[in-house]
Structure 1
Amino acid sequence: MSLFDVYPLYDVTPVKANDVFVYGDDGNKYLDLYGGHAVISIGHSHPLYVNSIKNQIEKIGFYSNSVQNPLQNKLSEKLNEISGCKDYQLFLCNSGAEANENAIKLASFHNKKSRLLAFNNSFHGRTSAAVAATDNKKIVAPVNAQQHVDFVALGELEKVENILKENETCAVIIECIQGVGGLEQSSTEFYQGLEKLCKEYNTLLIADEVQSGFGRTGDFFAFQSHNIQPDIISIAKGMGNGFPVGGILIHPKIEASYGLLGTTFGGNHLACSATLAVLEILEKENLMANALITSKYLQNAVITIPEVKNVKGRGLMLGLEFDFPISDLRKTLIYKHHIFTGSSKNPNLLRILPPLTIKKEHIDSLINALQKELN
């Protein structure tokens, strides 16, 4: 049997990893400045993280959500404490797409509306409603396209209001910093205006924090710097540091009922242990503060590279924008300098999404490589 060929692959085969480094079967040591799509938050193979999962699997790795699982309650309490999202409710699932799918479904249950509003260049996942809210027609199948989704440009509050006035939109879903879309973001005035319109027209505001959450921006969530309160917050990626886990934080005004949402694997013992370890390490090692320090260092360092026309994003969710496509540059960084970076919908944007444990000397390695290749 062959693999279903949907991924264009680089000729690198990782066999082990530690902190910010990945080791290939070719004997090379690669600096990981991409974190596997922003998944690696606390560094590869962190000993506390490894021991947490190891100790848990020796006890019990999984049982269904038909029985008590105290680890879920412990995780909910810890998230409440660290995230700053007081009194929200937690529903656990397995991925970012599933988190957004449940968020959209829950919004529709709550206000009995069926339309959705999303933004140009958005990416929310590949499942039914989540992919319909993703601004990429190539990955939206005809069966997904039956969802009614209105797309608006970031910053267009008037257009948002004209759509919400029709009283058919269950939710507005937004990435406060777009990931795949190219690190675009709008103003605090826009995000606060969006929150106000959602309240006025009985529409739920969903903050997609799948990529930007869990400290990547220097805040626990990207929306927090804008002083808004979403109705639902979707989380995944850095949440489990590579273990498949996702979830949504749900405002207390939204009522739960038996059978409203469900999942087989979501919130299993191993997933909870992985996430609890991530939260403990984020806190103990002050990784959100490190994200801000190293982000500032990188942004100051790239001033020495005139080919970098713009730096987008915040914290360790950054994009270096050039005036040429970066696909060949990425290959050179991988094969010649042994540095992993990322791409986006913007062909000229080099995405930097490293583990939050990154240090200044790792950034120096990137700057030196860029200087050598671009000069």
Structure 2
Amino acid sequence: MKLFDVYPLFDVNIVKGKGCHVWDDKGQEYLDLYGGHAVISIGHAHPHYVEAVSKQVATLGFYSNSVINQLQVELAQRLGKISGYDDYQLFLINSGAEANENALKLASFYNGRTRVISFAKAFHGRTSLAVEATNNPKIIAPINANGHVTYLPLNDTEAVKAELAKGDVCAVIIEGIQGVGGIQVPTTEFMQTLRTACDETNTVLILDEIQSGYGRSGKFFAHQYTGIRPDMITVAKGIANGFPMAGVLISPKFTPVYGQLGTTFGGNQLACAAALAVLDVMEADNLVENAAKVGSHLIEELKKFSHIKEVRGEGLMIGLEFNEPVKELRQQLLFDQKVFTGVSGTNVIRLLPPLCLSMEEADEFISRLSKLLK
């Protein structure tokens, strides 16, 4: 049997990681400015994380959600405290798409509606309703194109107020900062207008913080720059530093009903141990504050490059837009300068490093990039 060919692959076999660095099977070291799609939050192979996961899997890796799991209780309490959402409820699942599916499902149970507002360049996942809410027709199969979703321009307050005024919208789903869409940042005015309009029309506001959350923006959630509180927040990626896990933070306005939501693997003991270790390290090493500090430095330095059309983002979620396609530049960064980066569309380089990135490592990236942009 062969693997189903879904991704074009770089001819690099990564076999080891430590902090913000990875190594291939030939022993070549790379600076990791992508963190495996923003998944590596506390750095590769952090010793506390390794110990916690190893100890848990040697004790109990998994058991059913039909019994008490004290690790889930502890995770909910600690996540509520560190994020500022103590009064919310937590539902644990396995992936970002799954988080968005369950948030949209719960929203529809709540108000009985079926229409969803999403935004231009949005990405919310590759399954069922999550992919329908993703503004990319190339990945929406005919079976997913069910007419539930209206796409609006990001930051267009009048357009969103007009749609919500119709009174038939179940939910608005929006990323704290658009990732796949090219590091597009919603304005404070837009987010506050959105919150008010949702309240006035009994529409559920869902913040997809799967890529922009968990400290990446320099605040725990990117939407916290705008001073709003959504009805639900979806998280994944950095929550367990590479172990498959996700969650939905759910406002007290929602009352749980047995049978509406469920999961086999979600919140299992091994996943919870990984997620708790992530919170341990984030707190001990002040990683949210580090993301803000090092990210501000990176953004400031990158804005000095005349070759870069625009630098966007917050913290360690940064987009570099060029006037020309970046495919060759990304290849040169990887194969000549030994730096992993991401892309968005044709003209944007995406930086999503582990939140432990140091000033020295940030400056090393600037140095390597400058060699290619001279």
Shorter-chain TM-score category?
Answer: over 0.9
Return 319-328 or 96-105, whichever deviates more: 319-328
Match of 1:341? 341
- 1:293 and 1:16 map into 2 onto residues whose CA distance is 27
Counterparts of 1:363 and 1:108, CA distance in 2: 44
Equivalent position amino acid for 2:95 in 1: S
Report if aligned partners of 2:303, 2:311 keep a CA contact under 8 Å in 1: no
How far apart are the structure 2 equivalents of 1:127 and 1:184?
Answer: 23
Matched residue type, 1:363: A
Residues 222-248 of structure 1, C-alpha deviations (whole Å, 9 max, x = no match): 011111010000000000100000010
Against the structure 1 CA distance between its residues 304 and 187, is the aligned structure 2 distance closer, same or farther, given a 3 Å change threshold? Answer: closer
Aligned partners of 1:182 and 1:319 also within 8 Å:
yes
| Equivalent in the alignment of 1:228 | 228
CA distance in 1 between counterparts of 2:76 and 2:224 reads 19
Question: Distance in 1 between the 2:297 and 2:313 partners?
Answer: 14
Cα deviation, 1:171-228, whole Å, max 9, x if unaligned, reads 0000121000001122111100000000100100000000011100010000111110
Measure how far apart 1:161 and its partner are.
Answer: 2.2
Distance in 2 (CA, whole Å) between partners of 1:216 and 1:362 is: 17
Matched, 1:352 2:351: yes
Matches within 5 A, 1:192-271: 192-271=192-271
Letter in 2 for 1:372: K
CA distance in 1, matches of 2:55, 2:147: 44
Residue in structure 2 matched with residue 34 of structure 1 by the alignment: 34
**Match of residue 174 from structure 2:** 174
Secondary structure of 1:125's match? Answer: coil
Structure 1 residues 5-154: aligned runs within 5 Å:
5-154=5-154
State how far apart, in whole Å, the 2-side matches of 1:308 and 1:167 are: 43
- Aligned residue for 1:66, secondary structure, equals coil
Which letter maps to 1:28?
Q
Find the residue that maps to 2:53 and give its secondary structure: helix
SS in 1 for 2:143: coil
Give unmatched runs, 5+ long, in structure 1. Answer: none
What are the ranges of 5 or more consecutive residues in structure 2 without an aligned counterpart?
none
Code of the residue aligned with 1:198 in structure 2: it is C
1:159 CA displacement: 1.7
CA shift for structure 1 position 160: 1.5
Deviates more, 1:162-171 or 1:239-248: 162-171
**In 1, Cα distance between the equivalents of 2:369 and 2:59?**
48
**Distance (whole Å) between structure 2 residues aligned to residue 367 and residue 218 of structure 1:** 20
Whole-Å separation in 2 of the counterparts to 1:358 and 1:164: 41
SS at match of 1:366: helix
After superposition, what is the alpha-carbon deviation per residue over 1:277-316, rounded to whole angstroms, capped at 9, x for unaligned?
1011111100111111111211222244211121101000
Do the aligned residues in 2 keep the contact of 1:177 with 1:183 (CA within 8 Å)?
A: yes
Q: What code does the residue aligned with 2:105 have?
A: K
Among the aligned pairs, what percent are the same residue?
54
Q: Kindly indicate whether the alpha-carbon contact (under 8 Å) linking 1:129 and 1:147 is maintained by their aligned counterparts in 2.
A: no
Per-residue deviation at 1:162?
Answer: 2.1
Maintained 8 Å contact 2:299/2:318: no
**Partner Cα distance (1:223, 1:300) in 2:** 22
Corresponding letter in the other structure for 2:355? L
Q: Is the 8 A contact 1:90 1:248 kept in 2?
A: yes
TM-score under structure 2 length normalisation: 0.98
2 CA distance for matches of 1:86 and 1:273?
20
Matched position secondary structure for 1:58: helix
Cα distance in 2 between the residues matched to 1:131 and 1:224: 26
Specify the SS of the correspondent of 2:151: strand
Counterpart-to-counterpart distance in 1, 2:320 and 2:154: 20
1:27 CA displacement: 1.6
Aligned to 1:362: 361
Normalised by the length of structure 1, the TM-score is 0.98
Residue deviations 1:41-92, cap 9 Å, x none? 0000000001111111111000111111010000000011111012100000
State the distance in 1 between where 2:56 and 2:147 align: 41
Aligned length: 374
- Residue 11 of structure 1 and its aligned partner are, at CA, apart by 0.7
- In structure 2, the CA distance between the partners of 1:189 and 1:28, relative to structure 1 (3 Å rule), is same
TM-superposed CA distance for 1:147, in Å, is: 4.0
